[in-house]
């Protein structure tokens, strides 16, 4: 009997050890796969930006575009490995000192990025004091992330922010930026922000448990999550990030494994051969899909290595280190587009009949000759002085030749001729929701700013047609961002927040709200595109979910 008992125990131990070895092997393979996906994205971005290393990418393109795009790449990189972000921080500080960031959520996004790159910028504190809860669900979520890292605000507390976020829950137990039905992305992001308070607050625990059950029900059989009916890696990645924030292993929790497929299996379905990611299964490269997948996969690597969750920064970012001087985000600045923001210029520089360039080049050359003559007259025509004058003159001429400026009269009122049209679309820009609320001349009596039909070429986006309409009808346009991250700030001098903290521009295609930005939505023949102004984050509009 004793011998039989020992045999049973021995067999059980062997089985346990075999299972443990198998599980460890499976986890190791998953970690290796995820690291390959992350490194593949980095390699793709290095190739795309012609950078020889991650540090060169940070100091180069990411710093050049600081404030306009790339913030979430910086966030992901800071949580993935050790890099020097001093050049980027300096560039972002310069951007913030020159621009008024009118969106509360955007101010808090910048605060998060500054915090994770170990900046002592006083913009962080100013953003917290002016922005938490100021623009719907995302401003509560981002503010809570900052509070979870030891920051505080003079206008609210973590407890009040939690109550505010919980109060925004929809009837189905999740969260949404707009509408009455919970959105996968917003729900997952709310869980990420609430995770640090799960064990200490019963109301948080109940809300998170309900949200996780809701998310589990929405997962598809291939492991993927959808947003507005479109399966995509961004929504799938945000759920992955939510689980790792909660300390839940997404590869082992049966609630998030459907038909044998995990979240990571689902994300892989959207990978391109070059390492980038697409928003739709049969789509092409998409910047938003690539960057969100990047930092969400980094969250899994941190989880597998026993590190803190992605939004929980290891170092004491709320130290007593003296803060740098930085602009106040509440400063009132005239909301007018800068030269580089107003409208995109043609990518290819062409010299046409009547161009200003020959005249300007002659003027610069003449000024250079005159400066040399003056040096001769003043008897200061030393070799180095003449060389300096010649170099400055040459630099001025080169600058004129490689740039392309146009006046408002020459830019606006132009009709773009399509050489290879593949169809037509109808575009309208409306602001019905503010008719009668202001006597401003730029608000039409019927709320219709423009309605027109445009030809489209292969690959053109909703943003491309908006720019074309603005040029043709002489409509003022102000936007920020680039490369699938364009955000419409103002059209026809009507800006976000002009009619409250929840007001701004949204767009729809065929009466439905797309799950990508307007510069990421490729148009098809017969589409109807509407850019509409909302006063309540879309809740005052009739949209299809």
For residue 504, pLDDT beyond 60: yes
**421-430 and 528-534 as β-strands: parallel, antiparallel, unpaired?**
parallel
Q: Which helix (DSSP H) or strand (DSSP E) does residue 453 occupy?
A: strand 448-457
Q: pLDDT per residue over 356-374, tens digit each?
A: 567 677 787 788 778 778 7
pLDDT at 413: 56
For residue 259, pLDDT beyond 90: yes
pLDDT band of 400, cuts 50, 70, 90: low
Would you state the structure tokens that stand for residue 290, as one six-digit string?
């690539």
- What does pLDDT average to over the chain? 83
Phi, psi of 171 (to 5 degrees): -60, -25
Residue with tokens 């290891």: 314
Task: Give the count of beta carbons closer than 10 Å to the beta carbon of residue 544.
Answer: 11
User: Angle of helix 202-218 relative to helix 233-245, nearest 10 degrees?
Assistant: 150
Encode 373-393: b = buried (16+ Cβ within 10 Å), e = exposed: eebeeeeeeeeeeeeebeeeb
Q: pLDDT per residue over 302-355, tens digit each?
A: 999 999 999 998 753 344 433 444 444 444 333 333 333 333 333 333 333 344
Please give the model's pTM, rounded to 2 decimal places: 0.69
pLDDT at 233: 96
CATH architecture of 414-534: Beta Complex (2.170)
- 135 neighbors 103 (Cβ within 8 angstroms): yes
Between CA 174 and CA 105 the distance in angstroms is 19
For residue 430, pLDDT beyond 70: yes
Task: Give the count of beta carbons closer than 10 Å to the beta carbon of residue 467.
Answer: 19
Task: Give the count of beta carbons closer than 10 Å to the beta carbon of residue 226.
Answer: 15
Q: pLDDT per residue over 56-102, tens digit each?
A: 999 999 999 998 889 999 999 999 999 999 999 999 999 999 888 87
Task: Give the count of beta carbons closer than 10 Å to the beta carbon of residue 339.
Answer: 8
pLDDT band of 414, cuts 50, 70, 90: low
Would you state the structure tokens that stand for residue 506, as one six-digit string?
């949204």
pLDDT at 222: 97
* Torsion angle of C-alpha atoms 277, 282, 286, 288, degrees rounded to 10: -80
Q: Which residue has the higher pLDDT, 393 or 250?
A: 250
pLDDT at 301: 97
3-state secondary structure of 254: helix
Between CA 263 and CA 208 the distance in angstroms is 19
Q: pLDDT per residue over 172-226, tens digit each?
A: 999 998 778 899 999 999 999 999 999 999 999 999 999 999 999 999 999 999 9
pLDDT band of 481, cuts 50, 70, 90: low
Question: Under CATH, to which class is 169-315 assigned?
Answer: mainly alpha
3-state secondary structure of 290: helix
Q: Which of 112, 111, 147, 150 is nearest to 127 (CA)?
A: 111
For residue 528, pLDDT beyond 60: yes
Between CA 74 and CA 55 the distance in angstroms is 11
pLDDT at 217: 97
pLDDT at 14: 42
Q: Which of 228, 232, 227, 192 is nearest to 212 (CA)?
A: 192
431 CB-near residues (< 8 Å, 6+ apart): 443, 444, 447, 449, 492, 494, 532, 533
* Segments making up each domain of the chain, as ranges: 169-315, 357-405, 414-534
* DSSP letter assigned to residue 516: S
Between CA 436 and CA 434 the distance in angstroms is 6
Q: Which residue has the higher pLDDT, 426 or 545?
A: 426
Between CA 27 and CA 188 the distance in angstroms is 24
- 478 neighbors 489 (Cβ within 8 angstroms): yes
pLDDT at 321: 39
Task: Give the count of beta carbons closer than 10 Å to the beta carbon of residue 246.
Answer: 19
3-state secondary structure of 22: helix
Percent of the chain with pLDDT over 90: 54
Farthest CA pair distance, the chain: 118
């Amino acid at each position: 009997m004793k011998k039989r008992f020992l045999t049973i125990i021995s067999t059980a131990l062997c089985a346990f050890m075999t299972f443990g070895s198998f599980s460890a092997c499976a986890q190791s393979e998953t970690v290796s796969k995820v690291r390959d996906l992350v490194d593949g994205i980095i390699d793709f971005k290095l190739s795309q930006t012609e950078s020889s290393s991650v540090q060169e990418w940070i100091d180069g393109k990411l710093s050049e575009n600081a404030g306009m795009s790339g913030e979430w790449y910086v966030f992901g990189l800071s949580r993935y490995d050790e890099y020097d972000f001093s050049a980027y921080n300096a560039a972002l500080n310069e951007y913030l000192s020159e621009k008024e960031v009118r969106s509360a959520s955007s101010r808090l996004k910048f605060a998060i990025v500054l915090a994770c790159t170990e900046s002592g910028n006083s913009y962080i504190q100013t953003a917290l004091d002016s922005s938490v809860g100021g623009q719907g669900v995302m401003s509560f979520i981002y503010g809570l992330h900052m509070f979870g890292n030891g920051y505080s605000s003079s206008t609210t507390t973590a407890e009040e922010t939690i109550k505010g976020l919980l109060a925004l829950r929809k009837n189905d137990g999740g969260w949404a930026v707009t509408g009455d039905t919970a959105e996968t992305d917003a729900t997952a992001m709310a869980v990420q922000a609430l995770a640090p308070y799960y064990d200490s607050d019963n109301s948080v625990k109940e809300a998170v448990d309900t949200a996780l059950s809701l998310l589990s029900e929405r997962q598809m059989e291939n492991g993927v999550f959808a947003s507005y009916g479109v399966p995509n890696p961004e929504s799938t990645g945000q759920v992955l990030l939510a689980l790792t924030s909660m300390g839940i292993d997404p590869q082992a929790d049966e609630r998030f494994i459907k038909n044998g497929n995990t979240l990571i299996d689902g994300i892989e379905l959207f990978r391109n051969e070059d390492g980038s990611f697409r928003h739709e299964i049969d789509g092409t490269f998409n910047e938003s899909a690539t960057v969100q997948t990047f930092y969400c996969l980094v969250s899994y690597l941190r989880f597998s290595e026993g590190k803190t969750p992605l939004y929980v920064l290891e170092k004491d970012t709320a130290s007593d280190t003296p803060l740098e001087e930085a602009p106040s985000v509440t400063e009132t600045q005239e909301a007018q587009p800068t030269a580089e923001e107003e409208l995109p210029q043609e990518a290819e520089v062409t010299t046409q009949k009547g161009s200003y360039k020959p005249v300007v080049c002659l003027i610069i050359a003449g000024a250079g000759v005159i400066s040399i003559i003056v040096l001769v007259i003043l008897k200061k025509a030393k070799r180095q002085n003449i060389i300096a004058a010649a170099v400055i003159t040459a630099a001025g001429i080169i600058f004129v030749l490689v740039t392309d400026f146009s006046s408002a009269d020459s830019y606006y009122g132009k009709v773009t001729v399509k050489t290879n049209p593949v169809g037509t679309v109808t575009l309208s820009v409306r602001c019905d929701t503010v008719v009668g609320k202001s006597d401003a001349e730029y608000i039409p009596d019927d709320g219709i700013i423009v309605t027109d039909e445009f030809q489209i070429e292969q690959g053109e986006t909703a943003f491309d047609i908006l720019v074309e309409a603005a040029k043709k009808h002489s409509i003022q346009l102000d936007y920020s961002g680039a490369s699938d991250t364009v955000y419409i700030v103002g059209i026809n001098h009507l800006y976000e927040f002009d009619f409250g903290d929840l007001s701004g521009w949204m767009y729809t295609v065929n009466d439905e709200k797309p799950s990508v930005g307007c510069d990421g939505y490729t148009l098809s023949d017969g589409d109807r595109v509407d850019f509409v102004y909302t006063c309540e984050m879309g809740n005052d509009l009739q949209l299809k979910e």
